[in-house]
């Protein structure tokens, strides 16, 4: 009887233990792990089938599992930095535990693995973009004349501009995309905003942080770039409008410029048919200082003005 009670208690505890699985999402990463003798999977397809079966089994038992992106090079660096043998399952388990705390993860909620993988990859790209943009922003340094931290000022200004964009947007859901192309490589951040029936705005804080950081980098470095908003509301055509980054601020695009951007093939330069039910229009007015970058933002002058002392 005592043995049965202990077994039952362990089963109950097992259901309350959260777990993380490090997933090799593509064939290239899978082949990289095949160099370790303790990694005994022979083909990627079978590996994915086994992972999915394990996820379903844990879910059926009432256990919560998150899936993390397992990068073989990061794993090798992790083992080297901690003096671990990479050809041990215990080392992979330690690395996966680290991913659970610091890396991109997606909760498994019964979805097909084919649907989960793109979400996980997008999450990894988003985190990498934020980390890269944050590093570049921190390297901008201080204004040579006034000593003000340009990156911090640019972030405050970007936050202020984003708030204005959301406040002036029409009701409904909004999808924002910001791209900055003057840095060593083009950075793109997206932000999806939902609004409930009572008008309350719902935001993903991680998306907001990444989006604001990328916008701030464009402002701080005066890099070419742009910001486009697509607003969707029931019973009305989608509204698409945007701005270009210029001089530490946002310059409105005309309706014609927005139309040209959306209805021109990027590779061939040829015109393509516009989407039905879409209104390409000029953006709402954000105020004169949003364009000039010289006044009105949080913390005083914008970084563009700081460079002109």
**In the predicted model, what is the mean pLDDT of residues 22-49?**
93
Write out the DSSP string of 121-136.
Answer: HHHHHHHHHHHHHHHH
The chain-wide mean pLDDT, for the chain, equals 83
**In the predicted model, what is the mean pLDDT of residues 222-238?**
90
For the entire predicted model, the pTM comes to 0.76
Q: Which helix (H) or strand (E) holds 47?
A: helix 44-60
Question: What's 145's DSSP letter?
Answer: T
Q: What is the pLDDT of residue 302?
A: 36
Q: What is the pLDDT of residue 78?
A: 94
* Structural contact between residues 258 and 241, judged by C-beta atoms closer than 8 angstroms: yes
Rounded to whole angstroms, the Cα distance separating 40 from 54 reads 16
Q: What is the pLDDT of residue 299?
A: 36
- 93 pLDDT band, cuts 50/70/90, is very high
Rounded to whole angstroms, the Cα distance separating 302 from 160 reads 11
> If we measure between CA atoms, which residue out of 297, 279, 298 comes closest to residue 287?
297
pLDDT tens column, 58-83? 888 888 899 999 999 999 999 999 99
Q: Which residues pair with 308 in a beta bridge?
A: none
Indicate whether 277 pLDDT > 50.
yes
Q: Which of these ranges, 41-55, 162-176, 224-238, 271-285, has the smallest mean pLDDT? A: 271-285
* Highest-scoring range by mean pLDDT, 15-24, 233-242, 294-303: 233-242
Q: Which residues pair with 178 in a beta bridge?
A: 189, 227
**In the predicted model, what is the mean pLDDT of residues 37-46?**
92
């Amino acid at each position: 009887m005592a043995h049965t009670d202990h077994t039952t208690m362990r089963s109950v505890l097992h259901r309350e233990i959260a777990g993380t699985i490090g997933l090799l999402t593509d064939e290239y990463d899978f082949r990289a792990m095949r160099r370790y003798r303790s990694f005994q999977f022979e083909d990627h397809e079978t590996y994915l089938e086994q992972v999915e079966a394990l996820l379903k089994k844990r879910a059926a038992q009432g256990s919560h599992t998150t899936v993390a992106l397992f990068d073989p090079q990061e794993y090798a660096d992790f083992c080297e930095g901690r003096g671990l043998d990479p050809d041990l399952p215990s080392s992979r388990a330690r690395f996966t535990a680290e991913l659970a705390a610091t890396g991109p993860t997606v909760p498994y909620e019964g979805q097909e693995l084919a649907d989960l993988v793109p979400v996980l990859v997008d999450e990894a790209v988003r985190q990498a973009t934020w980390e890269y943009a944050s590093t570049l922003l921190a390297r901008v340094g201080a204004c040579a004349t006034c000593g003000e931290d340009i990156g911090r000022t640019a972030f405050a200004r970007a936050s202020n501009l984003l708030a204005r964009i959301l406040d002036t947007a029409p009701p409904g859901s909004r999808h924002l995309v910001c791209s900055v192309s003057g840095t060593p490589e083009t950075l793109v951040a997206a932000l999806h905003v939902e609004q409930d029936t009572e008008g309350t705005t719902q935001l993903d804080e991680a998306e907001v942080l990444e989006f604001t950081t990328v916008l701030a980098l464009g402002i701080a470095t005066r890099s070419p770039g742009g910001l486009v908003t697509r607003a969707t509301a029931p019973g009305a055509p989608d509204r698409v409008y945007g701005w270009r980054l210029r001089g530490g601020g946002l310059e409105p695009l005309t309706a014609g410029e927005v139309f040209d951007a959306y209805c021109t093939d990027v590779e061939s330069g040829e015109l393509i048919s516009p989407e039905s039910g879409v209104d390409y229009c000029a953006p709402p007015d954000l105020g004169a200082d949003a364009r000039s970058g010289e006044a009105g933002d949080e913390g005083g002058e914008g970084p563009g003005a700081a460079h002109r002392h």
